[in-house]
Every structure is written in structure tokens, then in C-alpha cells.
Structure 1
Amino acid sequence: MHEMQRNIWLVAISVIVVLVLLNNTAYYFLTKRTLEESFNEELVTAAKRLQVSLEQSREGSQQFQNQIGRELRAASIAIQYALDPDVEKVTTEQLIELRDKLGLSHITLLKKLQDDIVLYKSTNPNQVNKSTKTWKPWYEVFNQLFDDKNASVDWLGQSLPNFWSGPFEVSSTNVDQINKWGYYFDGATNYMIDPYVNYERQEQYEGATGVHRMIENSLQSSDSLKEIAFVNPETFPDGKETINTEGHVQGHKVQEPIFYGSYTIKSAKDTELVRKAYFSKKTVTLRENINGQEIYKMYIPTFANESGINITDRDGQPMNSYVLMLSSDYHVIQDKLDSQFLNLGIIILIVTGFSLLIAVVVMRYYRQSKEKVVRVTQETYVEEINQMFHSIRAQRHDFLNHVQTIHSLAELNKSQELVAYTKELTGDIRLMNDIINIGNPAIAALVRSKISQAEIHKIQFSCSFTGLNMQEMGIKTLDVNRMLGNLIDNAFDEVLKYTEDRRHVTLVGKQTATALEFTITNICENAEEAVAMPIFEAGYSTKQQDHQGLGLSIVKSIAKQYKGDVYVTAEPTGKLTFVVKMPL
């Protein structure tokens, strides 16, 4: 028996251990997933902040370039005042002198012919007598300035009164140089003034405070970020080149695939994902092993405030958006996650151990409590069974005395006394037979015990049982005894308030094919008031002291446990009836 109980407890503890481990394992993976998602969101947020900072830096660089444009306009006006208004009277030496004084790369004068606009005179020998007819959209700008003295072309660049300046771009006459040109014409001369500077000054600004500096600082301050690239999604990854009039291959800065940053960490999926981010206008991510490193990439579509940002598509049309591509070392990210997972694992182990300890303590306490209850129940059961058997033996022992008494009353013709005596005798026997026929010794013992208790307190306790077959109830005997015991005690406590002749309690039990029902009725002067009280709530009691108000709430909870119910009614005759019904 002890071996079986020990095995049951081992199985119970094992089940608890497995459940705790499964719960904590599920919690671990759920938390791991949450941490990864949270970390990914953190990366996205950091990337967005970086995006804003880089865009602000890029706008600053754009403003600096516009300032260069304004300076070129001022230089153009100075050149106009220093030169003869007739281009034929202007010498190259004068242009060279002005170039050096004004700190320009070169100065070129454009002359409009009948069907062309040419670079007529210049400090750069490569530009002299070059046609601009094939330059788009520059040729259109030149015609607008010559005709209207202002440029209104819908393209990149900077339009000021009598002046237009394009973005830094590769020279068609020097394909290995990047310059920014300014064009000035107010009608006071028969030529257009074209001063220009190379990219060096803009590059110095961006290296010190502009986009390049911002990119460098961002890479140095991050332990995982490895590369940043501003991508032209229309020309990525190959860019665009053309053959100029001299037959040379000419690239275009405004169409470069990477116009800021670097692109050395390459994936075969970059082109697809850049376009996906660009057209969907949503951030796209990629985790991939590149050159033996676990790389995490983010492709963030970025939209500029102005209509043109000095980049164009393959057709030369201005764009106002690009893609910011960030490449991070996922190994660094994974190390951070692993550190968090380690802390989480330690916490889970501690919680698991603590939970198991609590479970063992609770189970041990429960087992001891259960053993105590079983022991008390067994002792009560044995005591009440012994009392019942003692009553039966007493009846059999007194049987001869009863027969002799009946014989004597019959001889003396004491018919009324004889009837009264035999009625009392048969009632006692019938009650004992009813108890024996209950079919469950423990419940029979409880009823016999309550009968004895009633006799002591002068309570008239009547019992009646019909069809009880306790083996087929499907309800624990212990629970039935708990309900009956509490209800009978409650009835006894109530009738003890009255005189002996009014102490009446009736117990009726019956079992059908579908239900088990017990009815207990007792005298109660305040029946109507009692029914209105919350008598089934835990802690509520109408008794003075030494009562915790738990009896009826226990009956209610046991009935609910078996999907049954208990209710109370007030009888017109001043009686209180409790009914317990439970389905079978």
C-alpha cells in the first residue's frame, strides 16, 4: 500500500516537474522571440534616427552648394564689369587674370550663333569653340537666358535673377573632373558669362561637417554598423555612362548608383530589395552570410523635402527620393541577444527551482492534511459503526424483555399501553432497518451518529431513505457526508433555540435514475427572513459566536463541484427546508 502511494506521489511530482519545464521552455522561446522583435524594432528606430540625421546633413551640403552658386553669380557680375561688353574685344589674358583674382577654376564666355550656342572663349583651351547643342538640358537653359534673361527649366539646379547654376557634374570636355558651373546673362553683353569651380571645396565641406563626416561618425560610434550607402534606386547597381562628342566615356554624378557612402558589402539580393523598398515605400530587411560574416541589412526609403536633390533617374529626370542602405554585423547583435538570453535562462532556472520547492512543500502538506482527514474520518466511521452495531446488539439483547413486556400487557388487558409500547418498539426497529438499508456504511454511520446526538439534545429527528444505491452514485461518500453533516448540524443548531416539544428535524433522501436528492426540514420562526439572507456566502452566519459561517458555503461548493445545486425555501408552517440536488 505504502509502495503504491509512493509511486503515485512520484508520478505526481514528475508531472509537475514536466509541466513547469514545459511552461518555462515555452516562456523562454516566447521571450526570445519578443527580444529579437524588440531588438529589431530598436535597430529600425536607430536607423530612422540615423536617416533623419543624414538627411539633415545632406540638406546642409545642398545649402552649401547653393551658396557656391550665389558666389558664382557674384563672380559673374564682377567679370561683366571688368570686361568689354563685346566678346570680340575680350582677350584670353583678361580671362586668366580674372580667374586667378576671383579664385575660380576657369572662366568661359558663351556666344549665341544662328543655330547653336558655343563656348567661344575660355581659360580652358579644351572648351574653346565647343558646341553645346547636344547638352541636355544645358542647351535649353542657355536659350532661356539669352531670350528671357532668366532660366525656368524644370530640372536640377539653382535659378537666380539672370543666372542659373547646375549641380556638380562631370565635365563633357574633361571626363575625369567634376565641376559646378554658373551662367549669367542680363543683356548688357553679347555673351554669357560662365565661371566654374571644381568639386574640391564642396568635398572639403562634406568631409568636415557634411554627409561624409556624418557617415564616418555614425560608423565609428556604432559597434555593429559596418557600412552606410545612399542609393539611387533607378540607376543601382551599375549607374549610367554615355559617349560624349569627343568619343570619350562620360559618367554622370547625378546618376551615380551610390552618391554618398560606400558599397563593398554586396548581396545578390541588393538590387531586388532596394527596388522593393523604393516602390513599396516601406523598410525592408535582409539577414545573410556575406563573405563569411553574418550581415543584417536594412533598406530604408527616404524622401527629401525639396523637389530635386541633385540625383536623376536613367532618363535624366529629377528625383526626390532615394534608399538608405545600412549594413550591420549580426554577430554583435547576436552577442547582445545571447547575453540577454543567458540572464533570462538563469532567471528561469531560479524560478523553476523555487516553483518545484513550493510544489514539493505544498504536496507534502496536502498529503499530510489528507492523511489526517482520512484518519479522522476512519476513526469517526469506526466509532459510528460500532455505535450502530451496539444499538443492534442492544435491540437483540432486549428482545426477550420486549416479548415478556408485551405478554404481560396482553394478560392484563392493557390494550392502550400495549399499542403505545409496540408502536414505539416497531418505530425504533424500522428506523434502525432504514439506516442499515442505506447501502453505504459510512453514511449510515453518520445518520446513526446524528440520531444519537438528537436523542441527547431531545430533538425529534426523523429519517427516510428511498432507492439509495450509494455504489452507483458517482459521488464521493466523503463529500455526501460533508454536505449531510453540515446541513443536519445547521438544522440542530436552529431547533435548539426552541422548547423540546418544537424541536423537529426531518431528513429525506431519495435516488432516481438521473439525480440524488436530500431534503432537510426544521422548525424556524424567521424562515422568511432567513431565506432573504446571504446564508450560502462564506463567512456569513446568523449564530452568535464560535461559528465561522462556512458550513452552508461548503455545501454549496460541493454541490457545484458535481454540477448540482442547493437552495432553501420557507414553508408557510414556519419551517425552513434545504434541498440538495445532484445529477447522476
Structure 2
Amino acid sequence: MRRNAWLLVILLIALLLGVNNTIYYFTTKDTLEDRLQHEMESVAKQIEISIELSRNGAEEYQEQIGRELRAASIAAQYALSPDVEKVSNAQLAEISKKLDMVGITLLKKTPDNIILYKSSIEKQMGYKTSTWKPWYQAFNQLFDEHRVTIDWGQSLTNFWTGPFEFATTDTSAIQKWGYYYDGTTNYMIDPFISYDSRQRDYDDATGVERLISQTLKENRTLSEITIINPETFGNGKKTTITDNGDELEHMTQNPIINGTYTYKHDDDIANVAMANDRNVKVYENAVINGKHVVKVFIPVDIENKVASMLDEKGQPLNRYVISLVSDYATIQQTLDKQFGNIVLIIVIVTVLSLIALYFILSAYRKSQDKLIRKAQETYLDEINGLFQSIRSQRHDFVNHVQTIHALAELGKTEELKAYTAELTGEIRQMNDIINIGNPAIAALIRAKSLQAEMLKVEFKIDFKDMNHLELGMKSLDMTRLLGNLIDNAFDEVLKYAEEQRTVHIAGCQKPGYYQFTVSNTCLQAEELANKPLFQAGYTSKDGGHSGLGLHIVKSIVDQYKGIINLAINEPNVVTFIIKVPV
């Protein structure tokens, strides 16, 4: 039984520690994940600011290139005839070389189209532009109004230019074209330069790709940064087929504007759409490419619309999305380390707790054993005292008879009556104690009767129908229960004068239970009704008392599933009523 109790205690401690460890683990996990999200958002904000600065710088640089193209257009116009038919391709090649252009093309407007009519590069000629949206719209505005008003590209006096883009005439080249027309010629001048000769060096030095590369290098937790075009993402690269049958890729409508996109997940399209449509941050915690990662999609509004980022209809974007991928291993490593520390602490605390519990239980057991031994010794003393009293009465019986005979012969009637009355009372009292029916209770009552006689306390006894007492309670526990109640009653009545010192104990059998009552004089009986009488340590007595008597009584009654009540049925008398199931 004792071993099972120890096992139960150990299992309970293990369960509590396990629950505590689990709660702490997941709380720490949530905290670390929140911290990682905040770090990712902070990095994303820094990247956003840096990207905007870099992008704005790149746009400003492109505008400078646009002004260079316009200047080159004006210079070429002064060198060429105003009639396109009088301009040769050789002239255009020579001027293009002097102006450091990749080439110069002249556009001619026909009744139903605008075509590339003359060029310094032969394969540029002959292309129709009516399918080049929104370029064709800009060409018409420039021919008709000498200015371009579409919300796209860079417009200057008599001039317009779009962004760097793949060339229809050479799908492998990224170029920027300028278009100039002031009405003094019958053609539009189109000088163009390559991305490699102008913009690439700038982007390599200060562009977004360099910024992303440096950010990834400085933040080891980040695995990938992607700048996403939310309008074309998921549709693949935007391409068209040229008049020559070549596939033309549209750089300005590329789903991936900057960065790389190797950590692909099935929910990416939905997450990008949600971030863009609702303008909210979206997180994804998943295993991608065999690695546990956290992805965040953060929408970024574009204040100044640009021609280098377009939707699938060729209109400038209002917003793009930054995607950051962070390695979850940093969190897991921290969790593993903390978990190891927690386990070590728990093991140490558990061992120390079990050692402390062992000593506490050992001390408690020794204390209980000591109390039990003392109670057993008291019980044996009381039983022996009862038997000794019975033997004494029998031993003195002859002396009593001789005394009665002598008093009768002498004719001392009054003395004889007094002597026999005293003798009869003593015998009746002993018979009442013996007739209780339970040796343990009888011995206790006999001992308490002697104590009451010494203390000059009127000790009344009233036991009925208990000749066949078969309590489920151990005799030792019964003597402890009644003994503590009687002792408490004696302690209380000793506060008063001899004529007020009354203690009454009664016992009887009821249907299904036995009832015991202990009553005593108490001039402050009414005040006890709201006192915690059964609480360990509580006492209404003056110093020197532990306050454990009634607590022990309550514990014994509870152990045997009985009940104990305090009753104040008459003035200045307090009664404890105990009911114990049969």
C-alpha cells in the first residue's frame, strides 16, 4: 500500500512537470515565432525603404537617360533632311555612332499604321507598331499633338520614352528608346541605347538586386527575398509573338520583379493575392524544398507610379509585394537548447523534490507512529486500569461484607445505610462502565471518570443499546476521537467554579449509525458558532495548546465517512454530535 502511494506521488509530480513543460515549450515557441515575425517585418521595412530609394534613384537615372535620348534626337534632326525619303540608312548609322547610340530609327505614319521606315540597323526596318500597346498610343499622340499624355513613361517637350524593355526587333536585347517629333519633319526620330551600356552598371552598384544580395548576406536567418508583381504572379512570364515569329518577353510585366523565387509553395498565389487585395501581411509556416521555413508576404504601395512595373494590361502598378523566407531552424535550435535546459532543471527539481518529500513523509510517519504508540499505551493503561478496578472490587468484597455485618450487629442503622449507599453507587458506576459493551470505550470512560473526580468535574455517562456494539472504527481511533472531545470539555469547564463544571457523554445506536454526544458548560457558547473550530492550529484556549484536538477528531470522523456537528441547544452549553455509519 505504501509503495503504491509513493508511485502515485511520483506519477502525479511527473504529470504536473510534464504539463508545465509542455505549456512552457509552446509558450516559448509562440514567443520565438512572434519575435521572428517582428524581425522579418523589421527587415522587410528596411528593405522596403531601401528598395524605394534604390528604385527611385534608378527611375531618376532613367529620366536622365531619357533627356540624353531627347538631346540625341534633336542633334540628329539638325543633321538630317526633314524629308524621310532623303535620309539614308548610312547617314543614320554615322550619326548614331557619333552620338554614342546603339542605333537610330525613323518612324513614318501611314493611313492605318506607324512603321519603322528607316534605321541604322537594317533588321529594325519594316515593323508595324499597331500591336505595341501602349507604345502605339503614345506614337499617335506625339504625331498628332506633339506631346504624350498617357500615364506611363516619361514625357518631355515633343518627346516621350518608355522603360528599358526587351526589343521586338531583337528579343535578346534590353533597350530604351526615345521618340521625338516637333512637326518640322515627316518622320519621328527614335534613338535607342542598350541596358548594358547605361543602366546595368548603375543597377550593379546601387540597384535592388545588389541590395537584396547584401541583405541576405548580412541576415543569416533569411533564405530568400523576392519582389513580386501581384497582377501577373502565377501567370508565368508575359510574352508575345513578334512579326518575325520570335517570342518576346516583357520585362516590365515579369511576375518576379527582383530577387529569386526558389522557395515555391502551393499557397503562394493565394497568399500574394490576399496580401495585395486586402493590404495585409500574410504568413506561411511550411516545409519547402525539404526545409522548415516561415514566409511572409508584405504589400508595398507605390506612391509615384513608374513605367518599369506594369500589370498585365500594361498599366503602372499601384502596389507590389515583398516576400521574405526565413529559416525556421533558428527557432528550433533555440527551442531545443531551452528544452534541454528545462529538462535538466526539471530533473534536478524533481530529484530534490522527491528527496524532500521522502524526508517529510518519513518525519510525518515517525510522528504518526509516535502518536499511535502513545495512544496504544494509553489504551492499554486504561484497559489495565479497568481490569484492576474490577479485581479490586472483588478483592475488597469480603471486607465490605464484614463491615456491613459489624454495623448490623452494633445496631448502627444510619451508618449502615450510608455505607451501603456509597458502596452501591460505586458498584453501579462500575457496572454502568462495564455494560457499555466496548472494552476500549469502557476503559476510556473509567479513566476519564477518575480524572473528573480528581478535577472535581461532574462527569455524567449515558450509553444505551450498545451491548452489541460492532463499529467499523478501530478501537484505537475511537478512543482518540472520544478522548480528545472529553479532554477539550474538561479544559473548558475548568475555567469555571466547581458547581458549574459539568461534562456529559452519551452514546446510542440509531438506524444505520451510532451517535455519540459530548456536552459541557460553556459561558461563551454563542460565540463558537462562527469559529473555525476544526481548523488545524485554531484554539480558543490560553497559551500552551496546539489547537489540534478538534482537527484530529474531524480527521478521524471524515476517515470513517461520518459527520460531526456543533449544537447549542440550551444556554451556556455546547454539544458536539458525532454520527458514525455502522
- TM category (shorter chain) comes to 0.7 to 0.9
So what's the TM-score if we normalise by structure 2?
0.80
Alignment match of 1:300 (pick from 296, 301, 307): 296
RMSD: 4.1
Alignment match of 2:240 (pick from 239, 242, 245): 242
In structure 2, C-alpha distance between the alignment counterparts of 1:564 and 1:99, rounded to whole Å: 113
2:505 counterpart SS class: strand
Length, aligned pairs only = 563
- 1:295 Cα shift? 1.4
394-403 or 553-562, which moves further after superposition?
553-562
Alignment match of 2:43 (pick from 37, 50, 64): 50
Alignment match of 1:199 (pick from 189, 195, 200): 195
Which letter maps to 1:50? V
- The percentage of counterpart residues that share the same residue type is 39
Alignment match of 2:502 (pick from 501, 504, 507): 504
In structure 1, C-alpha distance between the alignment counterparts of 2:530 and 2:298, rounded to whole Å: 72
- 1:358 Cα shift? 1.9
Alignment match of 2:60 (pick from 64, 67, 72): 67
Alignment match of 2:364 (pick from 363, 366, 378): 366
Tell me if 1:171 matches 2:164.
Answer: no
- 1:47 Cα shift? 3.1
In structure 2, C-alpha distance between the alignment counterparts of 1:406 and 1:146, rounded to whole Å: 158
Partner of 2:388: 390
Which letter maps to 1:431? D
2:132 counterpart SS class: coil
- Is the CA contact (8 Å cut-off) linking 1:69 and 1:158 kept in structure 2? no
Which letter maps to 1:528? E
- Is the CA contact (8 Å cut-off) linking 1:60 and 1:210 kept in structure 2? no
In structure 1, C-alpha distance between the alignment counterparts of 2:24 and 2:313, rounded to whole Å: 50
- Is the CA contact (8 Å cut-off) linking 1:384 and 1:446 kept in structure 2? yes
1:128-147 matched pairs, under 5 angstroms? 128-147=125-144
- 1:530 Cα shift? 4.4
> Are residues 527 and 358 of structure 1, via their aligned partners in 2, closer, same or farther at CA, if it must alter by over 3 Å?
closer
In structure 2, C-alpha distance between the alignment counterparts of 1:194 and 1:362, rounded to whole Å: 97
Cα deviation per residue 1:341-377 (whole Å; 9 max; x = unaligned)? 3333322332232223223322322332232222222
In structure 2, C-alpha distance between the alignment counterparts of 1:444 and 1:98, rounded to whole Å: 136
- 1:33 Cα shift? 4.8
1:10-89 matched pairs, under 5 angstroms? 10-21=3-14, 23-24=16-17, 28=21, 31-75=24-68, 78-79=71-72, 82=75, 83-84=77-78, 87-88=82-83
Cα deviation per residue 1:53-101 (whole Å; 9 max; x = unaligned)? 3333332333123213432453355456543598437967887788678
- 1:386 Cα shift? 1.4
Tell me if 1:284 matches 2:280.
Answer: no
- Is the CA contact (8 Å cut-off) linking 2:138 and 2:148 kept in structure 1? yes
Partner of 2:325: 326
1:546 counterpart SS class: coil
- 1:578 Cα shift? 2.9
Partner of 2:376: 378
Alignment match of 2:459 (pick from 453, 458, 461): 461
- 1:424 Cα shift? 1.5
Partner of 1:118: 115
Tell me if 1:208 matches 2:205.
Answer: yes
Which letter maps to 2:272? Y
In structure 2, C-alpha distance between the alignment counterparts of 1:34 and 1:67, rounded to whole Å: 49
Which letter maps to 1:278? V
2:267 counterpart SS class: helix
2:175 counterpart SS class: strand
Cα deviation per residue 1:478-507 (whole Å; 9 max; x = unaligned)? 555444333322221221122322211011
> Are residues 97 and 347 of structure 1, via their aligned partners in 2, closer, same or farther at CA, if it must alter by over 3 Å?
farther
528-537 or 370-379, which moves further after superposition?
528-537
Tell me if 1:220 matches 2:217.
Answer: yes
In structure 1, C-alpha distance between the alignment counterparts of 2:406 and 2:500, rounded to whole Å: 34
- Is the CA contact (8 Å cut-off) linking 2:40 and 2:324 kept in structure 1? no
